[in-house]
Amino acid sequence: MPKSIIINKHGGPEVLELVDSKVRSPGPKHIRIKNLAIGLNFIDTYHRTGLYPVKLPCGLGMEGAGVVEEIGSEVKIFSIGDNVAYASPPLGSYSDERVIPERIAVKIPDGITHKIAASIMTKGLTVHYLLFKTYKASAGETILFHAAAGGVGQIFCQWAKSIGCKVIGTVGSDNKIDIAKKNGCDFVINYNKESFDKKVLEITKNKGVGVVYDGVGKETFEKSINCLKPRGMMISFGNSSGMLNPIDIKKYIAPKSLFFTRPALTNYISERNELEGSATSLFEAIKFGKVKIKIFKEYALSDARKAHEDLEARKIIGPALLIPNE
Q: What is the CATH number of the domain that holds 107?
A: 3.90.180.10
Q: Does residue 173 share a domain with residue 67?
A: no
> Is 281 found in the same domain as 309?
yes
Give mean pLDDT, residues 177-197. Answer: 96
Pair 45, 90 in one domain? yes
Whether residue 255 is found in the same domain as residue 284: no
What's the domain count of the chain?
Answer: 2
My answer on whether 68 and 178 are in the same domain is no
107 close to 75: Cβ distance less than 8 angstroms: no
| pLDDT above 80: residue 239 | no
145 domain-assigned? yes
Q: Are 253 and 230 in contact, with CB atoms under 8 Å apart? A: no
Q: Are residues 219 and 295 in the same domain?
A: no
What is the CATH classification number for the domain harbouring 198? 3.40.50.720
pLDDT in tens, 243-268: 778 889 999 999 999 999 999 999 99
Q: Residue 64: give the domain boundaries.
A: 3-119+272-323
- Residue 125 in any domain: the answer is no
Kindly report the average pLDDT of the chain as a whole number: 95
CA distance 326 to 37: 11
pLDDT tier, 241 (very low <50, low <70, confident <90, very high otherwise): low
pLDDT in tens, 124-145: 999 999 999 999 999 999 999 9
Q: Are residues 67 and 85 in the same domain?
A: yes
Helix axis angle, 114-129 to 272-287, nearest 10°: 110
Residue 127, in any domain of the structure: no
Residues 276 and 308 both lie in one domain: yes
In a 3-state reduction of DSSP, which class is residue 270? coil
